[in-house]
Structure 1
Amino acid sequence: MDGVTVIDHPLVQHKLTIMRNKETSTASFRRLLREISTLLCYEVTRNLDLTTIRIETPMEAMDSPVLEGKKLVFASILRAGNGLLEGMLDLVPAARVAHIGLYRDHETLQPVEYYFKAPEDLENRLVIVVDPMLATANSAIAAIEKLKERGAKNIRFLCLLAAPEGIERFRTAHPDVPVFTASIDRHLNDKGYIVPGLGDAGDRMYGTK
């Protein structure tokens, strides 16, 4: 699909299989999500801009690469996005963090916003929005609209699983935002869940129903 990158690294796919298994415990699911998010973060940041600085190694002076520009922003769509956020911060601890509180109305499947907090000067930063599932895409679309209203221009969306219907809606609404995912699953069911999927990521992460 245009604008979509499937991260098919063997470790990512192995961990995802264990997470899909309904017998996997809450503790194991949470741990695996943190591990897989580090691998996904590696891929979504693969082409960051670099510059060089002059340093002294124990042997000699050299020009060596470092990240260029302002620090990244990881924008977590609450609550399940925090499961990806933690592993990504392990890899990029200096990143700034935005929190976007949205929940899905189970009758309408539409997002309802209850919280938004983000760093300043988003227009000068790469913003990576994280949510484990891109299902109906309603929450992701709303979250990115909010970030764009605050000035964000360079945005990427990272998820664990995506449905074809969600990708189509998301890319129609935000064709300038590339999507990175570990899997494009078969379809959505009549309740808006990804099939075969892995259930509700937030419930499996926190042991709730």
Structure 2
Amino acid sequence: MYKDYKNVYVMEHPLIKHKISKLRDKNTGTKEFRLLVEEIAMLEAYEALRSLPLTEEKVETPIETCMTTVIDGKKLAIVPILRAGLGMVNGLTALVPSAKVGHVGLARNPDTHLPEAYYCKLPDELDKRMVAILDPMLATGGSAIEAVDFIKKSGAISIKFLCIIAAPEGIENLMKAHPDIELYVGNVDRCLNENAYICPGLGDAGDRIFGTT
């Protein structure tokens, strides 16, 4: 049961709940859908980035010189899973404009429902960065597991996975494969159907973000 994992965080903020309800509506158009995804990603990131390391530096204000708090070390690395994860990137870069952005391309085989990799380009020195992996949907967990595998092999140690909608099966599979990461979820839906789509879900996030079918 996903509730048994102490590093799975399901968002309870009223704004996130409201915006996810708007996402689910089949009548929500591309422009609004895209904006909602960005806003939800920003709200989730606010929670997920609470553990960014801090240090103090000297700053001269208009009144006097003081010590003030800033983020320490290498900047955040953001890694969207192509292509739907791209829709969440602006929400995080709005909070951390200096973040480095990499990309992992994974496509689900329609017959096996398993992920197949076609692209991976990541920032350097991942071992010194907090890495936020982005994908609006966590269904079977196959793509998420594959993405985390790639990123760990590239040296990442501190990994957070942010999604908007998740199926219980996907959470269970991801946390069993990678129990050391933190998972931030906008909403946990009921189940997967026979085609491995999340129910009730919100359809194909990538198609709705980019206006394709």
Q: TM-score range by the shorter chain?
A: over 0.9
2:61 is equivalent to residue 47 of structure 1: no
CA contact (8 A) 2:52 2:130 kept: no
In structure 2, distance between residues paired with 1:103 and 1:46: 31
2:178 is equivalent to residue 174 of structure 1: yes
2:66 is equivalent to residue 81 of structure 1: no
What residue ranges of structure 2 are gaps of 5+ in the alignment?
Answer: none
How do 1:20-169 and structure 2 match up within 5 A? 20-169=24-173
Following superposition, the deviation at residue 198 of structure 1 comes to: 0.6
In structure 1, distance between residues paired with 2:90 and 2:195: 29
Whichever residue aligns with residue 4 of structure 1, its letter is V
In structure 2, distance between residues paired with 1:78 and 1:86: 14
Query: In percent, how many aligned pairs have the same letter?
Result: 49
Number of matched pairs? 209
Helix, strand or coil at the partner of 1:80: coil
Following superposition, the deviation at residue 14 of structure 1 comes to: 1.0
Partner of 1:187: 191
Following superposition, the deviation at residue 59 of structure 1 comes to: 1.3
Deviating beyond 2 angstroms after TM superposition, the runs of 4 or more aligned structure 1 residues are none
Normalising by structure 1, what TM-score?
A: 0.98
In structure 1, distance between residues paired with 2:85 and 2:209: 10
**Considering only aligned residues, what root-mean-square deviation do their CA atoms show, in Å?**
0.9
Q: Deviations over 1:22-74 (max 9, x none)?
A: 11111110111112211111111012121111111111111110001111100
Whichever residue aligns with residue 156 of structure 2, its letter is A
Helix, strand or coil at the partner of 1:157: strand
Following superposition, the deviation at residue 163 of structure 1 comes to: 0.7
What residue ranges of structure 1 are gaps of 5+ in the alignment?
Answer: none
CA contact (8 A) 2:11 2:185 kept: yes
Whichever residue aligns with residue 151 of structure 1, its letter is G
Normalising by structure 2, what TM-score?
A: 0.96
